Copies of this chain bind each other. A is one copy, B any other.
Amino acid sequence: MSVEANPNVLGIVGGGQLGRMITLAAKPMGFEVVVVDPGPNSPAAQVGAEQIVAPLDDPDGLAELAERTDVITAEIEHIGTEVLLALQAEGAIARPDPAAIALIKDKLYQKSHLAGHGLPVADFLRIDGPGSLATAKTHLGGIIVKARTGGFDGRGNLVLGEGQGWADVQRFFGPDAELYAEEIVPFRHELAVVAAKDVRGRVLTYPVVETFQHDNICHTVEAPANIGSHTARVATEIAREVVDGYVGAGIYAVELFVDEYDRILVNEVAPRVHNSGHWTIEGAETSQFANAVRAVMGLPLGSTELRTPTCMVNIIGERNGPVELRGLPDALAIRGVAVHLYGKSPTRQQRKMGHVTATALTIQEARAAAEHARSLITI
């Protein structure tokens, strides 16, 4: 299938919940896993991954990862892609291609790349001072200012108020941030399409899901999305084109907006397993994690078809302190509910501690069950 004969050890940059769930999928297939993560006893290490304790951009840590593994992937795009590119030049196999990760982690490059491929995106402009900010406000109308790199889960986004200007932007982002401005799109739905690409470039897409955010963090995912079949088809086609534009096997998640005129715009891309795909563990024929392993280890992809309507609700920390799990028995008493905890400690406000999934005959029932189960759990 690929240049490496019989790869046996998977390396992951990052050992958080995504690395954990990749590890849980990789072990039954017979693979060993090594992760790089700065925190000892990471969520991935708790399920049998060996861990190199080092920052995600640490050249020595990543070199050791390349040394000890056959294929490297990443659970996060905010990583030292230069180091990965250098290791790749020396013969390491990294999937997706570090160049694709670099293209995605800088959101301005990402937008330019998508627009350059003729894909529909909200208007955007680079800003670097009062002049370009004023141009953006005039040209784009209501704008959101975003950091080009490092922002996720809403960190690094500023919706600019009527009377706000460059001083406010600098106060929010600091003096040295690299920024761009994006037109605010009033949207009707936020959708996501998770896609898997194998080493031959074949792409399989999961069903379109609808995502619901609280405080800019993905909170609830409904699979399938409650949208018309035409919208679903167009969203899937756009996502496929997006993924075709990046080099390298792996999972890609494409976030989309449906605006008030039913136009579909690409919002963001992630070159990795994604919160909008956690539902696939129970709800799809092959989970995004199993397909991540298959893709990067040079194996054929598994079916991405829906098994049954499924709703996922995140368990997000609501306080700071030691973990004190409550309510698991009550949550699991609800038909169709599974609970996934990430082994993180302590609890912190806004920290993703786990998620609840519910399967049912309809997405409405699944959502009701998942939300009820989530409401019973404190951590």
Contacts and interface: CB of A to CB of B under 8 A. Distances in A.
A343 to B, nearest CB: 7
Contact of A299 (B24, B29, B299, B329): B329
Interface string A283-323: 00110001000100011101100011000000000000000
A40 interface: no
Contacts of A329: 1, 298-300
Interface residues of A, number: 37
Interface in A41-86: 45-48
A198 to B, nearest CB: 10
Contacts of A30: 325, 328, 339, 341, 343, 354
Contact of A27 (B46, B294, B328, B336): B46
A28 interface: yes
Interface in A331-379: 332-333, 335-341, 343, 354, 359
Contacts of A335: 303
Q: Give the number of times this chain occurs in the complex, counting copies.
A: 2
Contact of A48 (B48, B303, B337): B48
A355 to B, nearest CB: 10
A164 interface: no
A229 interface: no
A300 B336 contact: no
A300 B339 CA distance: 12
Nearest to A6: B325
Contacts of A24: 24, 27-28, 47
A23 to B, nearest CB: 8
Contacts of A359: 285
Nearest to A328: B299
A190 to B, nearest CB: 26
Contacts of A343: 27, 30
Contact of A302 (B45, B332, B341): B332
A340 B24 CA distance: 12
Contacts of A299: 328-329, 332
Given A47-B47, A307-B307, A333 B300 contact: yes
A46 B49 CA distance: 8
Given A47-B47, A48-B48, A325-B6, A28 B302 contact: no
B46 A339 contact: no
A78 to B, nearest CB: 25
Interface in A17-43: 24, 27-30
A336 B303 CA distance: 7
A299 B325 CA distance: 14
A289 to B, nearest CB: 11
A379 to B, nearest CB: 9
A332 B47 contact: no
Contact of A341 (B29, B300, B332, B338): B29
Nearest to A49: B48
A144 B1 CA distance: 50
